[in-house]
Amino acid sequence: MLEPRLKKQTSPKPPANPTAFSEKTILLCISGSIAAYRACELVRELRKRGARVFCLMTESAKKFVTPITFRALSGNPVYSDPFSETEDWNIIHTDLADRADLILIAPATADLIARLACGFADDLVTSVVLASRRRILVVPAMNDRMYTHPATQVNLGKLLEMNYEVMKPIEGDLVCGRTAIGHIPSLDAILSRAELMFSRPNSI
Ligand SMILES: Cc1cc2nc3c(=O)[nH]c(=O)nc-3n(C[C@H](O)[C@H](O)[C@H](O)COP(=O)(O)O)c2cc1C
């Protein structure tokens, strides 16, 4: 299927008062976590603050929330296939990477964190991240044992070394039945962290 030209996509409605997000282009990358539905609320909140939001989904993410939901909420096409054609033959991953003010990865699975830490470019999300030098905010969400596993902790450490911003998940009721660390942080916390990042240079 042809992806529409990136140029023609929806601009945000300007909010009554300008915010740190006004006119900013945010690539919201969603991976295959049970917390994927929280990304729906994030899209709404970002748009309310005046951001232009493009959603990128891993293949696993589509098993949790359908692309049509993000299409409707963002007002823009949803991207997940790096090999899909655009009308004007743009290379999607480099084109998206160039236009981002912020790449927000929420929720970030243990798997995606591992792939990012190793510099993989085996899907659209990892390819865009690798092709970008813009601000990157990683918001992990997973089972507590996955989060505290040495492999995940080493991978998160690598992301920090590469100047990615990484949020700490919070303690909460996990889908596995335990109350423990691994829950995605609140929307307010994510938005505040993103806002803070806009006060710093636009580069990793
Ligand atoms: C019901 C269910 C919930 C899951 N929730 C999470 C999660 O919150 N965090 C996580 O890291 N993996 C979770 N997984 C495992 C990921 O979906 C799996 O590792 C997948 O390969 C991730 O792919 P992606 O990183 O490309 O999105 C879950 C799997 C299932 C079946």
The pLDDT of residue 1 is: 42
Q: How far apart, in Å, are the Cα atoms of 89 and each of 82, 97, 133?
A: 12, 16, 23
Q: Looking at the domain that runs over 19-198, which CATH code has it been given?
A: 3.40.50.1950
104 in Cβ contact with 73 (< 8 Å):
no
Residue with tokens 């970008």: 132
Mean pLDDT value of segment 156-179 = 95
Which range is least confidently modeled, 6-20, 37-51, 70-84, 140-154? 6-20
Kindly give, in sequence order, each residue whose CB lies less than 8 Å from that of residue 8, ignoring residues fewer than 6 positions away: none
Q: Catalytic site residue 118?
A: no
pTM: 0.93
Percent of the chain with pLDDT over 70: 90
Residue 195: exposure state from Cβ atoms within 10 A (0-12, 13-18, ≥19):
middle
Looking at ligand 1, which atom is closest to the CA of residue 182?
A: 8
HSE-up of residue 13 (Cα within 13 Å, Cβ side): 9
Residue with tokens 């945010």: 26
- What are 57-83's pLDDT values in tens digits? 999 999 999 999 999 999 999 999 988
Looking at ligand 1, which atom is closest to the CA of residue 146?
A: 11
156 close to ligand 1 (CB < 6 Angstrom): no
- What are 90-104's pLDDT values in tens digits? 788 888 998 899 999
- Distance from C-alpha of 154 to C-alpha of 172, rounded to nearest angstrom: 23
Percent of the chain with pLDDT over 90: 77
- What are 130-160's pLDDT values in tens digits? 999 999 999 999 999 999 999 999 999 999 9
- Distance from C-alpha of 102 to C-alpha of 97, rounded to nearest angstrom: 9
Mean pLDDT value of segment 156-183 = 95
Q: What are the residue boundaries of the structural domains of the chain, listed by start?
A: 19-198
- Which of 111, 115, 126, when mutated, tests ligand 1's pocket best, judged by the most ligand atoms within 8 Å of its CB? 111
58 close to ligand 1 (CB < 6 Angstrom): yes
